[in-house]
Amino acid sequence: MTESLTRSKKLQWKWVWITFVMYILFYILPIFIVGNYFTNKIGIQFMGTWMFGGIIIIAAVAGYLSHGVTIWEPALAGAGLAFAFFLSLIVYIRIFVNPSYKITGKIIWFLVPTMAVFLLSLLGAWLGEQLQIFLKKKSQGSN
């Protein structure tokens, strides 16, 4: 029991990377696919819903699947994903759209969405951990 408590206090970097990959495969990829092929009302509604709810769902799945308590790991992965997205967007704009584009004064454009993704991921991971605890208690109670 003490081993699981000490292990849960340390950040599990493995789950940061696993969650990051989950975000790419199950969050970013569906958004790009739907955004490119389904431009009708249903596609737009899916994208809007998934952009918000997908963060919570994927973080919850990561929190549920991981061993021990992993709440901060999906949140860090989500913030890292948001930061990487905005950084790649700036690079894209500087290379293909406007080479003289300046980021000065626009840092808030990075901070607010990154913080929102971090908080939504934190909520999702907490929900996933709560489900893991609930199901564990339920299975122990039925034995």
Residues in the chain: 143
Q: Which residue has the higher pLDDT, 100 or 2?
A: 100
| Helix, strand, coil abundance in the chain, percent, nearest 5 | 85, 0, 15
> Which amino acid is it at 136?
K
Structure confidence by residue, pLDDT tens digits, 103-121: 777 778 788 999 999 999 9
139, pLDDT greater than 90? no
Percent over 70 (pLDDT), the chain? 93
Distance, in Å, from the CA atom of 35 to the CA atom of 108, rounded to the nearest integer, reads 25
Structure token digits, residue 139: 């299975």
pLDDT class of 13 with cuts at 50, 70, 90: very high
100, pLDDT greater than 80? yes
Domain coordinates of the chain in residue numbers?
Answer: 2-132
124, pLDDT greater than 70? yes
